Each structure stands twice: as C-alpha cells, then as structure tokens.
Chains A and B, each alone.
Chain A
Amino acid sequence: MFQDGQLFKLFAEGIQSDPVVWESLAAGLPEELRGILRELLEADQELSCKQSQFLEPAALEPALAETAAGPQSLDSTVARGQGSQQVPVPQLLGDYQILNVIAVHGQGIVYRADHTRLNRQVVIKVSKNPLDDQAQRVLIEEGRSLATLSHPNIAQVYDLRLDNGRPCLVMEYIEGRNLADWQGDRPAPPSEAARLVRTLALAMQHAHSKGIIHRDLKPANVVLRASDGEPKIIDFGLARIRTAFHDQPEQSSYGGTIAYMPPEQAQWLLARMRGEPMDDPTTAHTDIFALGAILYGLLTGHRLYAFTNNSEGLELAAAGNFDTGALNDEAIPKWLKDICCKALARNARERFASAAELANSLERKRSTQGDSVRRRPAYLVSARWGRFGCVVTLAALLLWAVVPIGYQHYQSRVREIASTSPPDSADDSQMHSAGPAPPESPPLSQPLARQAARVSYEHFGITAAGDTTSSTLFDNGDVHEQDAIRITANFPVPSYCFLIALNPPGSEQPVQLCFPADDDTVQPLPMDRLVYPEQSGQGFYFSDGAGQQIFLLVRSKAPLPAFRDWLIGVGNELATVTHQTSGIWYWEDGELVSRHRRHQRGSVRDLEGTLAFSQLCRQIESSSAHCLVDAVTFPVLPRPTPQFP
C-alpha cells in the first residue's frame, strides 16, 4: 500500500516528535497515509496513557520469573514501564533505594528514591532508551554544568549516572506542588506575584551567571516547597538533554511551552518547520521573557495567549501579541504592569538586561511604591485575596463585633468547611476545572458542618531522677516548666493552618507562631497532617515560666493569608486572653471539653476559668467563614525543687 517501511518510519518520527512539529511535517503527506498515521499515533498514545496491558505478556509467576529473567533488573523495569501504577519498580539503583514511581513519560520513568547511606530523598529520572556516544557526551557535559548550580531556589542536581547507556539523573526531591497547580486559573495577589517572580529571577540570575539557560521555564517547572512555600526551579537546563527523558523532538533542542515562549523562539521553531535554516536564538532573554509570562499569568490568572491548537498558538507567540489590557485591573499597581510588559517586550533587547535587573526592579518598586498592597489586611483586598486568603467579610466582622456569641448560638451555627471552601483548595482536578469561579465569600447563613481534626499532644516530662518520660498530655501527671510537648494533628481534609502558642502572661513572646515558620509566609499547600516540632523526639519546651499555656490550631480548607495579616483580621487580641484553670481543657469540635471527657479524669471546677479560652476560640472561628479551631489550655507548674534524701 505504501512504500516499504514508510509507515513505520513516519510513525517512529511521530512518536519522537513534538506534536506541533509533527503536524507540520505530516501536512505534506497524502491524506490516506496521514489519516492512518494519525490513528496509529492516537492508538499508541491511548495505549500509553491508559497504561494499557494490551498484548503485554502475562506477569510471570515468581517461579517462572526466576528461571526466566532472574531478579528484576532496571533494564526490564524501564523497558516495560508505561504507566505509573503498573510499572515494576526496581528495588535498588546504585546507592538509591527506589520508593515509588512519580511519573512515566514515553521516554523514561521518574522515581522517588532514598539514598541508602545519606538518608536523603531524591528524584531519579531514568531514560528508557540508551544514548549513543554523542548524546552521552552532551549529557555528561550538561550534567557537569548543572552540578555547578547551587542556589536555594534551584533543585540541586546530585548525580548523573549511566546504566547500560541509559542516563539516570539524580536530583533533589522537593515535596510540594507546582506553581501551575497552585495557581489554577485565578490571579494571585500582586504582592505575592511580585515576591515570587523576584525570587525566581534571582535564581535565574545565578544560573545565567554560570552560563546556563533554563529554556523551559514555566509554572509547571516551579515547585513550591510544602514546608515553607519556597519556590524551587526544577528541570533546570535540561533542555539539551531532555530528549533522553521526555517525548521531545530529537532534532530540536527546544522544549519550551508556547505560552512562555518568546517571539524569537516561536519564529525560530516555525522557520525550522518550514525547513529554513535559522540560528537558535536562545539566550538569557528567553528566560527573562518566561519570567514575564509567569508574572503575567500570576497577575491576570490566564496565559499570555489563548489558542485552540498549537499551530495557532505558535503563530501568536511568533507575533508576540498578547492582551495587555488584562493588566489594567486596578488591583495591579502600574509599576508592576510596567515591569511585566518590559519583561515581555517583543524585542529581546528591550527586555531587562538581566534577570538581576528584573529582580531589582521588582524589589525596588515594591519597597518604594507597592508595599502597601502586601501589608493590606485580608479583608481590604478581598477582591483578589479570595484565592489565597481567608476572606473576612464585613458581615463576619459585624457579627463578631455586635453579636454576643454564646454557646447556644454557636451550636445553632453548625459548620461545614467542605461545602463552603473555594474549590481551588480541594484537589488538583478541581484546580484545573474551567467552571465558573465560586463565590469568594460564602454567606454566613449557609449551613456549615464540622469535621473534627484528631489532635494529640505528647508530653515529655522529667522525673525526679532526671529521666525523660513520654506520655499523652496529663496522663503522666502535671506539666512543669522545662517539660516539652509535641503536637500531632491529622486533618479530616487537606487544610491550611496556623499553630499558635499563647505562652503564660509575662513571657518574652506571649504570642508565638509555631507553624508556619514565620508570620510572613503564605502556606502554599494544604496539609493532611501537622507535626510540631517536626523532628522526632523534639518538643516545644516550656521555658517561659509557670502560668496558663494555650495552643491554638487554626485550620481552614481555604488558603490562609500570612499570619500577620490574619492577625489583623482577628483583632490582634490573642495576647490579651487571661484565664486560669487547674486542669486541661480542650476546644474540640466547636465545644469546650474537659479532660474528664477526654481522659476520664478532670474537674468541672475550672469551668469559670475557661470562659476566656472558649470565647477566644469562638471569636477566631467567627472571624472567618472558613476557619476552625482546635485548642488546648492547661497550667504549666513551677518545676518542683529536687528533694534530696
């Protein structure tokens, strides 16, 4: 029907090419051949994407496998891998203990692994295909270059190995969520956008100073570390060797995404498709444009170009025409818009001269003109804050201010954070949903239902003999100065949270934020679990003298603002709470619980002393439509004087 081997050759080109390039190449083929090819490529895609086992041999029983293939090798693992669920995982790869498969690409597999001796988690990208000598040389050269990068906002490359000619790239493992998922399709507060892009620009400057260009900078390649929200750029400088790991065109070293592609790059790609020779225009300005495109996306909530197919997108990118009107939102300061437009200048020479210049502009302008945006309390920036913050409506403030909040009233206001939180905080699939934006501030009259968190408090005491004991709080006696506590909270749904210690009056730091690490951090990702202190065997020491101690765990399914902004919303009154109890009391599930109920011990004599405590918890919950509180209060007693015989 067709020339000998033509179909296979075109198919092989198709699965190794960028779809945009392939569509262009295939345009000149006879219609019938193009149709068959498209069907074959779709079949291949379907079989790969669905992790299909179509025609795969049966999994060999252990006894058969033993005689057949011996212990599972990396070779067979990589060769067979087509889907993360069904990919056989090798146990060891050199010094690395493989933990699980993170992702499977057409050309390789990404594992999470542990270094067996260093106890360090890493990401290992293993190529499915061996490289030829030339490609190996490029890989090693690039690996050496990448190893020189050392910056807190760049994922570190630890190792580059070759396993039977297959490259394995070992990189820093960052637990977190990528910026694309985090942002979804709604804008970020301008101050946050500026801060984030400035951080990225400084990281890029470090790389550029080493002569390394990312070439594929985009939100999907920025991971926000779960612990502190710090952005880390991943896949740094891998463009030249990316073909070894991903489905990218062999003949092209460009792996950028159209929405972050500067005009000169798009023009170059189009010229290549037309078969016209053109020098690769990639420079540091390529990354600067990408930074501008990331800033644009953060500010406007959408990408630079709207297009229905890649060819159209490429034409738009080549023209460099994007909607500057989207930056005219009054919430976006003019200086920020100007910076964004300069980074996105059509002519590379009109962009910032360096990433450092972009970073400096962002910092200088922010500090001289725009800081007010950052410091504005949550409820004053509600138009934009809804995506990131805990929206405090006027109604909620009024309610807090004028309505006496009694227990009966509270009970009648059953809460349901799950049904009222913005969907963006739920999961990735919802983040990507293109449906209408939910109301930022649900009416308080909407029924709310609670889902209790499970919070446990581990108490580390010191016996008279000087030994350390560990027990559930108060199970092993009173809490004394210099004892310590470790708090573990398991959330019923992924939650954003603050853990706040209200230390005894007179303490050096009456209100102490335990989590997140500082009051300026906006927690980027919801958590299933919080352990404080994180390190096993450590505790929060009661070193502020005797007196009443409170721990407040404020949680929300919706993102919370930075603590200092949140504090303004709740009236900055945390430090003024004074009360005295003789035992331990919890605020759980919207009500005061004595240790009697929780631990079969306790007293009701404290009830009067707990009023301020319970009022505080109610006030916090009332101050925001989304926040729930789990809290504990107990006295820290003076350490008894050692009795010597």
Chain B
Amino acid sequence: MAESENFDNPFDQADLVQTELRELMEQAVGSTLPGGGLTPSLLVHQVVRDLVERRIVNPADRAGVLAEGAATARKLMVERARCHGGAQPDEASDSCERSRRLLDLKSVPVDILDLDDALEKLGEERPDALKVVEMRFFGGLTFDEIAAQLNASPHTVDLDWRFGRAWLYRFLSLRSDNAHKHN
C-alpha cells in the first residue's frame, strides 16, 4: 500500500487498523493465550509494531492505535472466553476452557470474564479510570501516552490508575473470597 494512501485517509486507516488488529489478534489470541506467555499489552504492541512496519500506521499515531488496540484486545479476549468457555465456568467440563481464559495479572490469576465484569463496574464508577486501566493493561501505554490520549494531566492519570487498580483489586478480592466461601 502506498504510504500517502493510508496516512492521508484517517477514516480508511481507522477501518483498516480495526480489521488488521482484529485479524492479527484473533490469530495471536488463538495461539498464545492458553497457558499465558503473551500478555495483552505485548500482543497489542506486537500487532501495532507490525502495522507500523508495514506502513499501515503512521508512527506518530502509534499511541492512538495502541489505545484502540487495547480496547480491541479486551473485546476479543472476552468474546473468545464467552464463545469457548461458555457461560457456566464452574462446570467441571469447563475446567480446561476455564484455565484457557485465566489471565496472569502478575501473580494474580484472574478470569478474563471476572476482570471484564469488574472493568464494567469500574466504568460505572469512574469512566476515566476504566480508560486508563484499559490502555495501560491491555495496551501497554505509558502514563504520558495515556495523558495525551485523554487530554489529561499525568497527575490525574496517575490518580485514575491508582484508583482503578485499587478498585479492581478490591472487587476481584471480594469476588474471590465469596467464591471460596461458596465452595
């Protein structure tokens, strides 16, 4: 593809990026997520790097695409978990699929569906915190990149990050405690 063709047409580029991201990430998620190894942020970075190298994405837009990729990654992972894991994760037959959807949130294994649910609730409480966590965890953006994307100060982004993290930690801990009680 010609450089100008892609870079000068943001709408086409956005569509293309979405499609490319989805396609590449479908492959990546399918091949790597079970058992871990490739975490969402790495996955998104890999995809975006590929797009930049193929000159589909302007390097100057990289952060924006990463942010977009973060949301796509989350969506794909959840879709995939729902399709393959079913809606009843506690069924014994699902144990294999359940293990496939476990994300290692750095020594805190969490079900992607639980995390997604927690993120939804966080979004109701503080939408900006949700965006920060999504961009940071799923997209691997730096705080400055996030600040630029949200047009916020790094200080506010830091507060949102800490709030989001603490909120999710508490939410997931409570859920985990309840699950243990029921078991």
A79–B135 CA distance with the chains assembled, in angstroms: 15
The answer to whether B152 has its CB under 8 Å from any CB of chain A is no
Contacts A40-B167, A47-B169, A129-B155; A68 near B45 (Cβ below 8 A): yes
Query: Chain B residues with Cβ under 8 A from A76's Cβ?
Result: 142-144
Contacts A15-B162, A80-B143; A58 near B41 (Cβ below 8 A): yes
Query: Chain A residues with Cβ under 8 A from B42's Cβ?
Result: 57-58, 60-61, 64
Query: Chain B residues with Cβ under 8 A from A63's Cβ?
Result: 49
CB distance from B103 to the nearest CB of A (A): 10
In A21-57, the 8 Å CB interface with B consists of 36, 39-41, 43-44, 46-48, 52-57
Whether the pair A7, B125 counts as a contact (CB closer than 8 A) is yes
Whether the pair B163, A52 counts as a contact (CB closer than 8 A) is no
0 or 1 for each of B65-107: is its CB under 8 Å from A? (1 = yes): 0100000000000000000000000000000000000000111
A459–B142 CA distance with the chains assembled, in angstroms: 55
A46–B168 CA distance with the chains assembled, in angstroms: 13
The answer to whether B166 has its CB under 8 Å from any CB of chain A is yes
CB distance from A44 to the nearest CB of B (A): 4
Whether the pair A54, B165 counts as a contact (CB closer than 8 A) is yes
Whether the pair A55, B136 counts as a contact (CB closer than 8 A) is yes
A41–B169 CA distance with the chains assembled, in angstroms: 11
Within the complex, which residue of B62, B125, B143, B168 is in contact with A8, where a contact is CB–CB below 8 Å? B125
The answer to whether B149 has its CB under 8 Å from any CB of chain A is no
0 or 1 for each of B145-177: is its CB under 8 Å from A? (1 = yes): 100000001110011101111111110010000
The answer to whether A5 has its CB under 8 Å from any CB of chain B is yes
A159–B49 CA distance with the chains assembled, in angstroms: 40
Within the complex, which residue of B59, B133, B139, B159 is in contact with A55, where a contact is CB–CB below 8 Å? B133
The answer to whether B13 has its CB under 8 Å from any CB of chain A is no
The answer to whether A11 has its CB under 8 Å from any CB of chain B is yes
The answer to whether A75 has its CB under 8 Å from any CB of chain B is yes
Whether the pair B162, A55 counts as a contact (CB closer than 8 A) is no
A39–B164 CA distance with the chains assembled, in angstroms: 13
Within the complex, which residue of A40, A41, A55, A69 is in contact with B142, where a contact is CB–CB below 8 Å? A69
CB distance from B36 to the nearest CB of A (A): 10
Whether the pair B168, A68 counts as a contact (CB closer than 8 A) is no
In A567-585, the 8 Å CB interface with B consists of none
Query: Chain B residues with Cβ under 8 A from A39's Cβ?
Result: 170
CB distance from A9 to the nearest CB of B (A): 10
Within the complex, which residue of B140, B142, B154, B162 is in contact with A130, where a contact is CB–CB below 8 Å? B154
The answer to whether B16 has its CB under 8 Å from any CB of chain A is no
A204–B177 CA distance with the chains assembled, in angstroms: 54
In A306-340, the 8 Å CB interface with B consists of none
Within the complex, which residue of A12, A44, A55, A64 is in contact with B49, where a contact is CB–CB below 8 Å? A64
Query: Chain B residues with Cβ under 8 A from A48's Cβ?
Result: 162
Nearest residue, chain B, Cβ from A36? B170
Within the complex, which residue of A12, A15, A43, A55 is in contact with B105, where a contact is CB–CB below 8 Å? A55
Query: Chain B residues with Cβ under 8 A from A463's Cβ?
Result: none
Q: Looking at chain B's contact residues, is the secondary structure mostly helix, strand, loop, or mixed?
A: helix
Interface centre among B66, B136, B143, B162 (most CB of A within 10 A): B162
The answer to whether A67 has its CB under 8 Å from any CB of chain B is yes
Query: Chain B residues with Cβ under 8 A from A79's Cβ?
Result: 142-144, 154, 158
The answer to whether B24 has its CB under 8 Å from any CB of chain A is no
Whether the pair B166, A40 counts as a contact (CB closer than 8 A) is yes
Query: Chain B residues with Cβ under 8 A from A64's Cβ?
Result: 42, 45-46, 49
The answer to whether B137 has its CB under 8 Å from any CB of chain A is yes
Query: Chain A residues with Cβ under 8 A from B112's Cβ?
Result: none
The answer to whether B22 has its CB under 8 Å from any CB of chain A is no
Whether the pair B125, A57 counts as a contact (CB closer than 8 A) is no
Contacts A54-B105, A67-B52; A40 near B39 (Cβ below 8 A): no
Whether the pair A11, B143 counts as a contact (CB closer than 8 A) is no
The answer to whether B55 has its CB under 8 Å from any CB of chain A is no
The answer to whether B129 has its CB under 8 Å from any CB of chain A is yes
Whether the pair B137, A55 counts as a contact (CB closer than 8 A) is yes
CB distance from A464 to the nearest CB of B (A): 66
A192–B160 CA distance with the chains assembled, in angstroms: 50
Whether the pair B155, A55 counts as a contact (CB closer than 8 A) is no
CB distance from A248 to the nearest CB of B (A): 15
CB distance from B133 to the nearest CB of A (A): 6
Whether the pair A60, B45 counts as a contact (CB closer than 8 A) is yes
Whether the pair A53, B162 counts as a contact (CB closer than 8 A) is no
A633–B19 CA distance with the chains assembled, in angstroms: 83
Query: Chain A residues with Cβ under 8 A from B48's Cβ?
Result: 67-68
Whether the pair B165, A11 counts as a contact (CB closer than 8 A) is no
Contacts A7-B126, A68-B140, A129-B154; A12 near B41 (Cβ below 8 A): no
A68–B144 CA distance with the chains assembled, in angstroms: 13
Query: Chain A residues with Cβ under 8 A from B40's Cβ?
Result: 57
Query: Chain A residues with Cβ under 8 A from B46's Cβ?
Result: 64
A39–B170 CA distance with the chains assembled, in angstroms: 7
CB distance from A338 to the nearest CB of B (A): 50
Query: Chain A residues with Cβ under 8 A from B144's Cβ?
Result: 75-76, 79
The answer to whether A128 has its CB under 8 Å from any CB of chain B is yes
Whether the pair A15, B140 counts as a contact (CB closer than 8 A) is no
CB distance from A74 to the nearest CB of B (A): 11
Nearest residue, chain B, Cβ from A11? B163
Whether the pair A43, B154 counts as a contact (CB closer than 8 A) is no
Whether the pair A60, B142 counts as a contact (CB closer than 8 A) is no
A47-B166, A54-B107, A79-B144 known, 12 other contacts, Cβ within 8 Å: A8-B125, A43-B166, A43-B170, A44-B162, A44-B166, A55-B164, A67-B49, A68-B66, A69-B142, A75-B143, A80-B142, A129-B155
**21 A-B pairs with C-beta separation under 8 A:** A7-B125, A11-B159, A40-B166, A43-B166, A43-B170, A44-B165, A44-B166, A54-B107, A54-B108, A55-B136, A56-B137, A57-B136, A57-B140, A58-B39, A58-B41, A60-B140, A68-B48, A68-B140, A76-B143, A76-B144, A79-B144
**Nearest 5 interchain pairs by C-beta:** A57-B41, A53-B106, A57-B140, A79-B143, A43-B166
Interface residues of A (CB under 8 A from B): 5, 7-8, 11-12, 15, 36, 39-41, 43-44, 46-48, 52-58, 60-61, 63-64, 67-69, 75-76, 79-80, 128-130
